[in-house]
Amino acid sequence: MRALLALGIAALMAAACAGSPIASSSPSAKGGATSARTNLPSPTGAKGGSPSPIPGVPAPFVGCAAKPTGGPMVLIGQAIYDVSDPVHPKLLCRVNNTVTHLFTQDTFTYIRRSGDEGTEVVLHSMGSGNESVIAGWPIKLLGSAFGDVGAWTPDGDHAATAVSAKDDAGDQAIQIWLFAQPSKILLYSFSQPLTDCICRFGVARPTLAFSADGQYLVSGWPVGKGASPLRVYRVADATLAQTLDLGDVEAIWSRTGHHLYLTGLAGKSRSWTPEDGFAPLDGATAWPYRLGLSPDGSQVAYTAYLDPSTQADLRVYVYDIATHQTRLLTSQMRSEVIFVKDGWVWYLEEAKCDPALPSCAPWGTAPTGKVFAMNLSTGVEQPVTFRMDETVTSPLSPGEFWPNS
């Protein structure tokens, strides 16, 4: 069904790009919500074909070593693995210099630059190696103010990005832009945060993500002095739905619908929906580092310190949303836990080191390079055996899955 959808998207997007102008404008940052909206022609490459190389911009690279066999897959960072046997995974593809999303059992999408400010989405078949362009927008998602961002909806109708700008005082600011066919809309701007942190996980990552149903967009980067809170916008009319608290440092959407899970470095995690507002998550503490949902959306995996005040002794946890239970997976020092398929997680062995040594970071711990897997139903920890040159590396980012349920 999704393969047919991909073909339909390609046809629909080609027709949309040919028949409707795509919007673009660059008003100055003024802070707060705006309604800047203009229409200009499509970016180069949005209608198909390969764009010309852009000087100084690395081109995306796709390298596939094997074809999917129908088993479950996980995308971790820029590597796609077959995890039919999560203790002995098989690397399928690596994709560099871009952002990737799993699309069907045989395909994934990635983005590439199109002209100076445009972006296009490429659909790649792991089975055949064939590629086709299925969407294009007049906004730059690669090399944005948030880095390389993957904020677009599967149908290609909407995308979002962060743009560096100056405010009225001449200070550095970040603008959040929404593309909604056929318009490009400046939602709001905020001051560029100070982001230095000599710590194991750095500062909290910027947030820019559409809800699973594509109806809402959460964005922001609430870190540093003078931080600005995360905001949620309705996509249909580009209006503000909710301003979150400054303590809500990270936010992730549910696998379906538009249920938003919120957390910070301390305190308790909670949730928000546009229908019911904020709600507590019984039994949940903070999920401070590398939080990610299970494929079916019923559990949250995260890393935390046993004693946050001393930033010592990292551990890995799973919170069950239905039972409100928080589970410590092992008493050993571990970090960067992620789901790789339902019921299975991977995480890294973490060990203490001497901060006086050049090879040791100031906080005194580091991953050893060993990756462990755990079947949550048994609680048994096993080392993951990778084939040569296929090892996953730190940092382990929360994964995407096929099937995504």
Mean pLDDT in each 10-residue stretch from start to end of the chain (405 residues)? 41 35 33 49 44 76 96 96 98 97 97 93 98 96 94 96 95 96 95 83 92 98 91 98 96 98 94 98 96 97 91 93 98 98 97 87 90 98 96 88 87
- Tell whether 298 is covered by a domain: yes
How many structural domains does the chain have?
1
Taking only Cα atoms into account, the Rg of the chain, rounded to an integer number of angstroms, comes to 21
Identify the pLDDT of residue 57: 79
DSSP percent split of the chain into helix, strand, coil, nearest 5: 5, 45, 50
Do residues 42 and 21 lie in contact, with contact meaning Cβ atoms separated by under 8 Å?
yes
pLDDT, position 24: 32
**b/e burial code for range 381-402 (CB count within 10 A of at least 16 → b):** beebeeeeebebeeebebbbbb
Residue 171 lies in a domain: no
Number of H helices, E strands in the chain: 1, 29
Asked if residue 66 is part of any domain, the answer here is no
Q: Which domain holds residue 355?
A: 288-399
Residue 332 domain-assigned (yes or no): yes
- What is the model's pLDDT at position 23? 33
User: Does residue 180 fall inside a structural domain?
Assistant: no
Indicate whether 63 belongs to any domain.
Answer: no
Structure tokens at 10: 């390609």
Q: What pLDDT was estimated at residue 383?
A: 98
**Residue 12, domain member (yes or no):** no
The residue length of the chain stands at 405
Decide if 300 is inside a domain. yes
